[in-house]
Amino acid sequence: MKSSLAHLILACAACAAALIGYGFWYAAIVSKSAAVADVQNQIEVRTETVKRMASTRAALAEIAGDEAVVQSYFVPETEVVAFIDGLEARARALGAAVTVRSVSTVKSSAQPVLEFSLTITGAFDAVLRTAGAIEHAPYDISVPTLAVGRDAAKGAWHADLKLFVGSVAATTGKNTP
């Protein structure tokens, strides 16, 4: 009988050891699974962050192109002479002449503005077409005053106009708020 009882005790001890070992392995696997789940969450968060960064870079690249287009509507203070040459070329192409009487800078709260005082001379239709071409030039231009008259002694028409042209500060190269 001793051998059966010894076998029973030995089998119970082995079963208890197996259950204890199973419990330790189960606890170890549960803790490793939690660590793996945490690492997986970190990977997903970082992957999402990388995707957002990529989409932000793409949006910034698109906006940079748009910014360049918008900046082309403003005359940098360093390129006033080229702008005046462009106005004179428009006038010559339409059979008129442009004389610049004054140029000044107006500091507004939003953005610097260049103020031009011009005189356009020539035939009536050339003067008006030139004034229209200047007003509709691809710049941020407004014409607050325009006066058209005829010089009886010379028989030529003239238009005196004031232009406000959006500008970009020379120091930054960008719009200043």
163 neighbors 118 (Cβ within 8 angstroms): yes
**Pick from 46-50, 59-63, 91-95: least confident:** 59-63
Confidence of residue 74 (pLDDT cuts 50, 70, 90): confident
Q: How far is CA 151 from CA 131, 134, 157, in A?
A: 17, 22, 6
What per-residue confidence (pLDDT) applies to 26? 93
Q: Classify the phi-psi angles of 169: left when phi > 0, otherwise alpha if psi is within -120 to 50, otherwise beta.
A: beta
Nearest CA-CA partner of 156 in 120, 104, 129: 120
Question: Higher model confidence: residue 60 or residue 67?
Answer: 60
pLDDT at residue 98 is higher than 90: yes
CA distance 31 to 11: 30
144 neighbors 116 (Cβ within 8 angstroms): no
Q: Where are the domains positioned within the chain?
A: 1-71, 75-168
Per-residue pLDDT, averaged over 121-144, amounts to 91
Please write the tens of the pLDDT for every residue from 15-44. Answer: 999 999 999 999 999 999 999 999 999 999
pLDDT at residue 177 is higher than 60: no
Tell me the average pLDDT of the chain.
87
pLDDT at residue 176 is higher than 70: no
pLDDT at residue 174 is higher than 50: no
Per-residue pLDDT, averaged over 133-154, amounts to 88
CA distance 112 to 174: 11
Confidence of residue 57 (pLDDT cuts 50, 70, 90): very high
98 neighbors 83 (Cβ within 8 angstroms): no
Q: How far is CA 67 from CA 45, 54, 93, 103, 115, in A?
A: 32, 20, 31, 26, 24
What per-residue confidence (pLDDT) applies to 1? 58
CA distance 141 to 135: 6
pLDDT at residue 72 is higher than 90: no
The domain 75-168 is classified under which CATH number: 2.60.40.10, 2.60.40.290, 3.40.50.620, 3.30.70.60? 3.30.70.60
Which are the contacts of 86, defined by CB distance < 8 A and separation ≥ 6? 137
